[in-house]
Amino acid sequence: MVSFSLKVAYSIIITGLFIIVVFIASTYQILDYNFYIVLIPLTAFLFLFGFATGQKFALPVKELLKDVDYLSKGNLKVRFQTKDKDELGQLARVFNKVAESFEQSRSEIESLDAKVKLRTATLEGIINVLEQKIKNRTLEFQRTTEDLEKTQAQLKQKDEEITDLRGQIDKLSLKGSKRKKIKR
């Protein structure tokens, strides 16, 4: 993949070579040895100028790419500083707005996360209290159930005793009524 600086340099170099070729073609018949002495340094200058210009245009783009990479790795404090008012300056301002928006979103998320953790801790405390109350009520219910079963057993025993006593009273009443009849 060809870098941005080389693309710019190639464009400048090809344009310069095209201009030189056009100049040579138009003045081909009157060219002498001195022209070729000037042409060689001019061509070297054209290559150097093309690469230097490519680097000049590519440097801010490379810096912006580096900052974008930092942003993608989670460094939300990074900002691209430029005073240019061209397309690169507009791109830098948009990048800075995006980074600021990400930073605000992250701080909002962290704030909401803290609130959620606090509410979760509060709810866990309430759940623990309710679980303890349920355990206490369950134990109380079990004790009451045991007491009720004991009372029912005692009531059954008393009921049996009452039934026994009635039977004994009935027997005694029969014996007493038989004695009264015999005495008469």
In a domain, 164, yes or no: no
In a domain, 179, yes or no: no
Contact by Cβ (8 Å): 75, 42: no
Tokens found for residue 8: 């710019």
Digit-coded pLDDT (tens) for 70-116: 888 887 788 878 777 777 788 888 888 888 888 888 889 999 999 99
Domain count, the chain: 1
In a domain, 9, yes or no: yes
Digit-coded pLDDT (tens) for 134-179: 999 999 999 999 999 999 999 999 999 999 999 888 888 887 777 7
Digit-coded pLDDT (tens) for 54-73: 777 778 878 888 888 888 88
In a domain, 62, yes or no: yes
> Can you say whether the dihedral through the CA atoms of 32, 35, 39, 41 is positive or negative?
positive
pLDDT for 1 equals: 46
In a domain, 12, yes or no: yes
H/E segment holding residue 172: helix 87-183
**Sequence-distant (≥ 6) Cβ neighbours of residue 80 within 8 angstroms:** 63, 64, 67, 92, 95, 96
In a domain, 126, yes or no: no
Tokens found for residue 5: 């600086």
Contact by Cβ (8 Å): 68, 92: no
In a domain, 127, yes or no: no
pTM over 0.75: no
Structural domain of 29: 1-75
In a domain, 162, yes or no: no
